[in-house]
Structure 1
Amino acid sequence: MVSFKEKGVAAPSSYFTGRVWVNMNINPEDGYNTMVGTVNFEAKSRTNWHSHTSGQILFVISGVGYYQEKGKSVQIIREGDVVKIPKNVVHWHGASHNCAMTHIAMVPELDKDKTEWLNPVSDKEYNKCSTQNEDININLTEKAIKNHEELWPGYESKAKQTDPELIEIFDNFAFDEVIKYGNLDTKTRVMMIMGSTIAQGALTEYKMFVNGALNVGVTPVEIKEILYQSVAYVGVAKVIDFIYAANEILKERGIELPVKGQSTTTPETRMEKGLALQKDIFGDMIDKMYEQSPKNQLHIQKYLSANCFGDYQTRTGLDAKTRELLTFSMLISMGGTESQVKGHILGNVKVGNDKETLLSVATQLLPYIGYPRTLNALKCLNEVIPE
């Protein structure tokens, strides 16, 4: 069985322009009177003009591409489209200018078919393939394109086709202008954004960043630890959907679940170890919290020690600096948590994250959380660590 996800073999340059790969899924020797192949086109790549005496059917499974019959205007084809090509009609098909495209091609009545390959589609012909729905007029900076490609090689969003002006504004801002600021490496930046999307309940964006994270070296264990830690701050009712989404992506990547466990406590030691970690990070503040807590609320302080810190923060898989940065990211993304934000600014400083690092995190999250929450975060930061 051949997977549609495999790239296949390079298509012959005598019949194709650009980089194209073909997977033959059904061949004549399989006993069917049809031929089926998955064809992956990089952006700007395409077939020559050609025809089939038996016709052809295309099933577009990803990306955006072009289809044109001789003497007719170009059609835009997208994921989910089915193109029914009549017998003996001269045509060509391929990827669009700025987006890769994959389709399944089927030739029926194979015993009667003859494919006639004709001239290549010239650059002049191809460049006439413009449409108001295409993204060729989007002016993305070279840096924005490079940073986007680092996370999602070859990916083009559907929003780019429907809302090109917004994508131009957002991508140039988030993937060029904002990234220029601060001292975060790519991996750390992506992990902070993942924590932020969980805190906001932004499942679609989270799934994008899980794929991006895996592409830049974030491990499955780290992905899971971000999720587990978020339970203490966001609540499992919101986090469970993100766990299921991450599981699906990890399975698609061939990663076996469950990942290796990272717990360092037992039911007998979680309170002791959690309280010790709290005091190590926050010092005398913890004793004061216990002393000042009303008796009928003391159980919440114990939960913080045993559950929030004992069950989650003592786990391996992420170091203390990353965990405190994640907590800061999630808290400023939730909004209305200024008291906790201030406490964890102090905690970040204690574990070695300085003001510049925290400011870098707030800056990188700005495109995803907006200005009000970012400004609230800066206010807390300046109160705890004055300029």
Structure 2
Amino acid sequence: MRKVLTALTMSVLAMTASSGAEAASPTSEADKERRQMITRSGTQDPFAGPAENFTGQVRVQPLFTPENTAAYGGAYVTFQPAARSAWHTHPGGQRLVVTEGTGLTQQWGGPIEQIRPGDVIWCPPGVKHWHGAAPHSTMTHLAMTGPLDGQTVTWMEKVSDEQYGAWTEPAPDIGGLDRRQQAVVTVAAFTAAGRLPELRQALNTGLDAGLSVNEIKEILVQMYAYAGFPRSLNAITTFMAVLDERKAAGILDEAGPQAAPLPSDRSSLELGTENQTRLLGAPAAADYIAFTPAIDQFLKAHLFGDIFGRDNLSWQSREVATIAALANLDGTDAQLRSHLAVGMNTGLTETNLRALVSVLHAHVGQAQAAKTHRLLDQVLESRSR
């Protein structure tokens, strides 16, 4: 239901002066232009944000009303954890200054963004949005809103729990894995599993964490070698849609460098054989090589040559992606065990890999994490002999 100029707005705009105020208010418009006004703290009563326009507990502290030469009113608004406004627009726009706590805000069609003390948010006229507190923090902002043709706000539908819950708190560095590497885990895992709604959020999280567009493209391209073309292409299509949505919301993501050309002094097979040997720590020796030489040539020339030879994604990141993907595929224990060892050959430490397991457990699934944990223990035991 749409509501224009609600009790909330009217209360913010209709400030009443206390009879006990220490400084008298000017009595005429002419006086106001010549005299400084002081409205003492505590002389205006706060009120609760109306339930029809807010979810959760919200407290509004009126501050000032529009003046002829300053055509905007102001109020402090405090949201308890997980409290938020309904979707709404402002005919004359609105500026918010976060003063305390951690909050969230979202423009219709865009990602949810975190806001912190000192952040200033400008919402242009007519732009549908909401704002409120993060799940585990209160948040206070100074809201400054100007009327247009007597209106300051148009209220719309409530922000649903599903819409609010689409935001996940950025993960801190854990076990030596920074936010970028943690995002690689979830992007690769959800791509391999074909879990596109979760992938959409993981892609947004990865971009917000600083992964470039071309780095994510490389992850999704590499995934076809482990999860197949259908999963890879579905993920690429999802990524294209995410980028379009972010561009429409005014978010310009860093493209990042393209991969350099492969070396011209040796073939993909020669390069791949060299790369595979470095990753494994020794020349490949597997029963399938003699049984099916073609698959060995494809692995060396294409996977380890054409793909691992591309230099705009590090080998460590490629192995993080591969481990996460294999953790989400059934019947891949042997390959997952092998790539856990390869990951350590690229410089990933036991601490890094245990952190990767933690990310799987927190964001992907307990079964995937348990499998990876078990196989990692086997790899570590074999390397200690």
User: Which one-letter code corresponds to 2:179 in the other structure?
Assistant: T
Q: 2:293 aligns with which of 294, 298, 304?
A: 298
Whole-Å Cα distance in 1 between the matches of residues 198 and 333 of structure 2?
24
User: Do the aligned partners of 1:43 and 1:98 also contact (CA within 8 Å) in 2?
Assistant: no
Q: Is the 8 A contact 1:264 1:315 kept in 2?
A: yes
- After TM superposition, list the pairs within 5 Å mapping 1:177-192 onto structure 2: 181-192=174-185
With over 3 angstroms needed to count, the CA separation of the structure-2 counterparts of 1:310 and 1:18, relative to structure 1, is farther
Matches within 5 A, 1:83-232: 95=130, 97-98=132-133, 115-116=149-150, 159=162, 175=169, 181-232=174-225
Map of 2:282 onto structure 1:
284
Which one of the candidate residues 372, 376, 384 is aligned to 2:379?
384
Distance 1:301 1:337 in 2: 18
Paired positions, count: 262
2:232 matches 1:239:
yes
**CA distance in structure 2 between the partners assigned to 1:62 and 1:322 by the alignment:** 30
Task: Give the aligned partner of residue 327 of structure 1.
Answer: 322
Instruction: Give the conservation status (yes or no) of the 8 Å contact 1:43–1:95.
Output: no
* Alignment CA distance shift 1:268-1:362 (3 Å): same
- Tell me, in whole angstroms, the C-alpha distance in 2 between the residues paired with 1:96 and 1:322: 35
- C-alpha distance in 2, partners of 1:61/1:40? 15
- The CA distance in 2 between the partners of 1:269 and 1:115, in whole Å, is 71
* Counterpart selection for 2:366 from 367, 371, 382: 371
Q: Check 1:94–1:42 CA distance in 2 against 1; reply closer, same or farther (3 A cut).
A: farther
**1:257, distance to aligned residue in structure 2 (A):** 8.1
SS at match of 1:116: coil
* Aligned equivalents of 2:302, 2:344: Cα separation in 1: 23
- Return the TM-score normalized by structure 1: 0.56
Give ranges in structure 1 of 5+ residues lacking alignment: 1-11, 20-35, 45-59, 64-81, 83-92, 101-113, 122-128, 136-157, 162-166
In structure 2, relative to structure 1, the CA distance for the partners of 1:267 and 1:246 (3 Å cut) is: farther
Provide the C-alpha distance between the structure 2 equivalents of 1:246 and 1:284, rounded to a whole number of angstroms. Answer: 37
CA–CA distance in 1 between the matches of 2:132 and 2:344? 48
Task: Indicate the SS of the match to 1:264.
Answer: coil
Unaligned runs of 5+ in 2: 1-65, 77-89, 99-106, 111-125, 140-147
Q: Deviations over 1:122-154 (max 9, x none)?
A: xxxxxxx9x9x768xxxxxxxxxxxxxxxxxxx
Q: CA deviation at 1:334?
A: 2.4
Distance 1:342 1:209 in 2: 25
Give 1:346 shift. Answer: 1.3
The alignment partner of 2:358 has SS state of helix
1:197-248 per-residue CA deviation (whole Å, 9 max, x = no partner) reads: 2112122222223222222221122111111211211111111122123234
Show CA shifts across 1:83-126 (max 9, x none): xxxxxxxxxx98464499xxxxxxxxxxxxx9236xx99xxxxx
- Paired position in structure 2 for 1:311: 306
**1:347 matched to 2:342:** yes
TM-score between the two structures when normalised by the length of structure 2: 0.56
Higher helix share: 1
Which aligned pairs between 1:64-83 and structure 2 lie closer than 5 A?
Answer: none
The separation in 2 between residues aligned to 1:234 and 1:16, in whole angstroms, is 56
Distance 1:384 1:214 in 2: 32
Q: Pick closer, same or farther for the CA change 1:352–1:97 going to 2, 3 Å.
A: closer
- Please report how far the alpha carbon of residue 16 of structure 1 lies from its aligned counterpart in structure 2 after TM superposition: 4.6
Within 2, Cα distance between the matches of 1:353 and 1:159?
36
**Secondary structure of 1:212's partner?**
helix
Provide the C-alpha distance between the structure 1 equivalents of 2:253 and 2:159, rounded to a whole number of angstroms.
35
Q: Partner residue of 2:268?
A: 270
User: In 2, distance between residues paired with 1:367 and 1:243?
Assistant: 24
Output the amino acid matched with 2:150.
E
Identical residues among aligned pairs (%): 21
Distance in 1 (CA, whole Å) between partners of 2:215 and 2:303 is 18
* Structure 1 contact 211–249 (Cα < 8 Å) conserved: yes
Match for residue 358 of structure 1? 353
Paired residues of 1:332 and 1:341 also in contact (CA < 8 A): yes
